[in-house]
Amino acid sequence: MKPPSQSAGNGIGSITPEQWLTRSKAAHKVQRSVDTLKRWQRSGLCVPSGKMKVGKLEVWLYSETDIERLLELAKTQKPGRKTKEV
């Protein structure tokens, strides 16, 4: 399963196939922040299977297998600090 390799100007939501999730959608699905997924990727814990170019940006795409891996990884991680209530 390969991600699309085309560029788009109207945002990636219109060209991302359903089987691929953007980082923000993947973060929402595993109930973690986008920053957490970025940190896990930098540390090599879970690298997304695909990426796609949108203009000058590279967008990382997560497959269902990646989501399963993220869910397993999330179970092993301690909860982060609580946010302050304003």
Instruction: Give the residue with greater pLDDT, 23 vs 79.
Output: 23
Written as six digits, the tokens of 12 are 């990636």
In this prediction, residues 20-25 reach a mean pLDDT of 92
β-strand pairing of 21-22 with 57-62: antiparallel
Residues in the chain: 86
- Lowest-confidence pick of 14-23, 24-33, 52-61: 14-23
Going from N- to C-terminal start, the domains of the chain cover 12-73
Does 72 have pLDDT greater than 50? yes
Model confidence, pTM: 0.70
β-strand pairing of 50-54 with 57-62: antiparallel
In this prediction, residues 41-52 reach a mean pLDDT of 92
CATH topology of domain 12-73: Multidrug-efflux Transporter Regulator; Chain: A; Domain 2 (1.10.1660)
